[in-house]
Structure 1
Amino acid sequence: MTTTIPHRPAAGAVPDPLMWPRDVWRPDRTSIPPRATVGAALGVGLLGALTLQPSVAGVAYPLTGIAVAATVLATVPPRPRPALLVGAAAALALLVVAALRDAPGLVLACVLLSWLVWTAALLGTRTWTGHALAPFVPWCTPLRVAGWVRRGRTRSGGGVPLGRVLVVAAVSVALVAVFGALLVSADPEFGAVFDALVPSVRVRNPLGRLAVGAAVAAVALSAAYLRRRPPRPDAFAPAPGRPSARWEWAVPVAALDLLFAGFVAVQLRELFGGRGHVLRSTDLTYAGYARQGFWQLCAVTALTLVVIAVAVRRIDRTRPRDRVLARLVLGALCLLSLVVVASAVHRMSLYETVFGLTRLRLGVMVAELWFGAIVGLLLAAGWRLRGRWLPTAVLVSAVAGVLALAVVNPDGYIAERNVQRYERTGDLDVGYLRGLSADAVPALDRLPEPARSCALAGVDIGADGAWYEYNAARSRAREILRERPIGRCEPVWG
């Protein structure tokens, strides 16, 4: 076993804040950034400062993402790898959701997953450890990027000082703002065009916008540097586990198989026995029975994945009998786990039928279905007891699941299910529906009055804003409410 010795920086070199081992991230004292990269990063920062508002889901998110990706892929040699192009496309697809949907939780999930996919593709990670560390690597680059940019200025004959660039940019913006305001007041028609094309005249929080722009420029420069000098987070992945005796891992897994088999037998009795059998056997209401077991089954599914991960590290794959036994006991555990997943989803569907669908209930149901997909991937990997592709496949499944959820439109689906429940039972949780996003407006518009007005009264659709604040869901909601304004909400629906 070789021992990794941290590298000691030479005099005058930029120190590494984390002192990465040499085999993970070698010190960089030679590479210099292309001028086009630095200029493009500053332009991306200006675009982010003028258009991107983190709290507002809109078209500015994908536009900023496209600008960052173009800076990294087009200005930094060599030609990008196909895997990097696919990862960039997936990350941008996730950012596009911010321009189409308005649900805060969905948009946040898409933005965070986009960052994870982009950094994993940029660094070329392949292991669980690499995927987990990749999103944090860009935050470890400020000193390296500063030295990289400084070397570029020094070796290009001094270049143009960054301070002068910022001063010239500030003066230019100030002149456009002052003279633009005068010309806008002189001609209303020109004012409408100028106001739409030059958003800088409407900046309300200059310090906040400056911070956003600086962050976006830093992200672009960091990504460009990482493409030239990427570390290897996969090097932190643990070494293969030491094989154990066959009985040490087979007995616990087999015992768990027997336990799961008994649970599955009871579940089959429930499915074929019907509602009356459940009520007689559990002394609970049907909704109470569903609610009581769902969370426990979710925990069982997650813990099963942990058990499988630990057991796989203890298998001696050089012995044919161990491989055959592993396929049998772990394969049975995966198949029985799929029944547990199905039971959990079934219980949540029963619960939703009685109490209605909410974001939390839909979210945990989707998570449980994703756990089931992971179990299916484990079955495929376990057939040959090789799963180097498994971490990336799980990440791809997460991207596909979130994009599919965006297509389904969670808030719209929740509103639709609650409208159907109201038509069937007459029950409607107006207080909860008021907290949904603009995605729910088309479904809530189908409610009869006064329930419609009461449900729509609390939905925040915002006002018409600048072009970079465009969001398809909010635009559609405003069109609906202009055609059919909100009426009076009677106290019974309050």
Structure 2
Amino acid sequence: MIAGDLGSRRLGIDRGRGGRPGSQGRHHRPLRRVESRLLLAAATVFGAWLTLRASPWLLWPDAGAALLLLGLAASFSVKGSVVDIGLAESVARGVSAALHGMAGAAFVARPVARTRWRLAAVAPVGRGLLIAIPIAALIAGLLASADPIFASFLRINLDFSQVLLDLVYVVAGALAAAGLLRLAAAAPIDRVDGPVWRLGTIEALVVLVGLDTVFAAFAIAQAIAASGTGAATLSAAGVTYADYARSGFFQLLWVAGITLVVLVVFSRITGFASRSGRLAFIVLAEVGIALTLLVVAVASTRLSLYESAYGFTMLRLYSHIFAGWIAVVFVLLAADMAGLWHQRRWFVGATALTALGLLLAMNLANPEAIVVGLNTDRAMASHKLDAQYLGELSNDAAASLLASQSRLEPALAGNVHDVACVGSRTYTPSPAAFNWADAAAAQARRTGC
């Protein structure tokens, strides 16, 4: 019973009132902590990029980052810190946010229900509309068939699929806002230090030895391939060295991601009975990190070779970015395991900060413009360019694509002109729907097409 109450409190749930989240009288609490305000300001920054960029490769991560930061601002509004949060507490806060998000609609509906007596006064109007609408529709239809000018008044040019999509977004946003309100008004989550049970030291060391052995064998394979002594093996497999060097990068990145999860989880759930056991774990983990960084380097090199042969795409660019980011995260993990700043649980927060910083840098750099520039540089040397793919990019790439014509040979420049000038040259949205990238693309087409 005590354990159940403690678990509920850790998730911000009060069982004293029927198990309803956020029922400890903390409603309408403002975000008084400086850290929550900073998180809220950061969410605003990423939200602003939704009006500056048009690429779905940025819009969805920006929306996710803004929502994540809003959730963190609500979760840390009373206690806790992003620079002192462990893996278990991250999971607990995530579960709490999900529970409050699902119950957000009911949280907002309760004060609305208190005004239901006012709805009784509106009921006659609703009944009148139910009677009036069919009559008005019948008369309007007859008048429209008799008078074409009157009929033109009834022609409403609406894209119902877009209206439906907008409605879905509005409802989803409203539910998310309701969940954030409930999360901010909920009981604060206590510090969570992880499960009471621990994995044995021997079991964890066996796992790490197995992991390091596999990585060491892979390192030997790379040395054999680099020396040329593995040519017979490649020939027997029907693979040329060029194909071998340009393949497998996605699998290698998956290996790095899975290894990161394994090392982080095992470092948190392993119980050490002696100092020597802890030291052995740290040494094996650091070796595993070093070998994984080798895997990341091999993946990045193979991807570069593939891009030299076949060109650059957004997926390949993002794979490069992911490889660089996960290498940084492994370095952070190595520092954490070595005992750097051991008074605080900083790894999770630092990892999130590097991801958000990288996303902000990508917004500033415009990845689609980078892909256009890299393909243009390659086309100047290889005289090959996939203009059709570049034309499928969003308006973030339009200005760079039109500007690239001056650097290309006439035939390739003509292909670029054909695909870059397909879009609209006018842009007159309502202020609420304005997007800077769309406006810049229209301006570029007016001057470059």
State whether TM-score is above 0.5.
yes
Which of 327, 346, 350 in structure 2 is aligned with 1:389?
346
1:323-352 superposed Cα distances (whole Å, 9 cap, x missing partner):
211221111111211111111111111111
Change (3 A) 1:440 1:422: same
Which of 115, 124, 130 in structure 1 is aligned with 2:92?
130
Partner Cα distance (2:91, 2:315) in 1:
29
Instruction: Determine if contact 2:74/2:180 at 8 Å carries over to the other structure.
Output: yes
AA aligned opposite 1:481: R
Look up the match of 2:15. 22
| Alignment partner of 1:101 is 2:53 | yes
Change (3 A) 1:355 1:478: same
Describe how 1:162-311 pairs up with structure 2 within 5 A.
216-217=173-174, 219-230=176-187, 232=189, 239-244=195-200, 246-267=201-222, 282-283=234-235, 284-285=239-240, 287-311=242-266
Q: CA RMSD in A?
A: 3.8
Look up the match of 1:470. 434
Aligned with 2:419: secondary structure?
A: helix
| Alignment partner of 1:327 is 2:279 | no
Change (3 A) 1:468 1:131: same
AA aligned opposite 1:93: V
Instruction: Determine if contact 1:315/1:323 at 8 Å carries over to the other structure.
Output: no
Partner Cα distance (2:120, 2:169) in 1:
18
Change (3 A) 1:217 1:303: closer
1:417-439 superposed Cα distances (whole Å, 9 cap, x missing partner):
11111111111112211110111
| Alignment partner of 1:436 is 2:393 | yes
Look up the match of 1:116. 68
Aligned with 1:384: secondary structure?
A: coil
Partner Cα distance (1:19, 1:226) in 2:
8
The alpha carbon displacement at 1:266 in A equals 4.3
Partner Cα distance (1:134, 1:231) in 2:
10
Aligned with 1:249: secondary structure?
A: helix
Change (3 A) 1:88 1:6: closer
The alpha carbon displacement at 1:135 in A equals 5.2
| Runs of at least 5 residues in structure 1 that lack an aligned partner in the other structure | 8-17, 33-75, 168-200, 486-494
Change (3 A) 1:252 1:92: same
Look up the match of 2:322. 367
| Alignment partner of 1:451 is 2:415 | yes
Instruction: Determine if contact 2:26/2:187 at 8 Å carries over to the other structure.
Output: no
Change (3 A) 1:213 1:352: closer
Higher mean displacement: 424-433 or 253-262: 253-262
User: Sequence identity of aligned pairs in percent?
Assistant: 25
Higher mean displacement: 103-112 or 253-262: 253-262
AA aligned opposite 1:473: A
| Alignment partner of 1:482 is 2:446 | yes
The alpha carbon displacement at 1:77 in A equals 4.0
Partner Cα distance (2:361, 2:309) in 1:
26
Partner Cα distance (1:27, 1:85) in 2:
21
AA aligned opposite 2:213: L
Q: TM-score, normalised by structure 2?
A: 0.73
1:147-196 superposed Cα distances (whole Å, 9 cap, x missing partner):
25556x69xxx9x87998xx9xxxxxxxxxxxxxxxxxxxxxxxxxxxxx
Partner Cα distance (2:31, 2:433) in 1:
33
Partner Cα distance (1:228, 1:121) in 2:
12
Partner Cα distance (2:104, 2:56) in 1:
30
Aligned with 1:4: secondary structure?
A: helix
Partner Cα distance (1:162, 1:359) in 2:
56
Look up the match of 1:403. 360
Change (3 A) 1:395 1:281: same
1:103-151 superposed Cα distances (whole Å, 9 cap, x missing partner):
1121011102221221123112743313543653323222223225556
Look up the match of 2:136. none
1:32-54 superposed Cα distances (whole Å, 9 cap, x missing partner):
6xxxxxxxxxxxxxxxxxxxxxx
The alpha carbon displacement at 1:321 in A equals 0.9
1:437-484 superposed Cα distances (whole Å, 9 cap, x missing partner):
111122211224312212314557773322232222222222221112
Look up the match of 1:193. none
Change (3 A) 1:150 1:380: farther
Partner Cα distance (1:314, 1:227) in 2:
30
Partner Cα distance (1:390, 1:365) in 2:
23
Partner Cα distance (1:82, 1:278) in 2:
59
Look up the match of 2:152. none
The alpha carbon displacement at 1:408 in A equals 2.2
The alpha carbon displacement at 1:259 in A equals 3.0
Q: TM-score, normalised by structure 1?
A: 0.67
Change (3 A) 1:460 1:380: farther
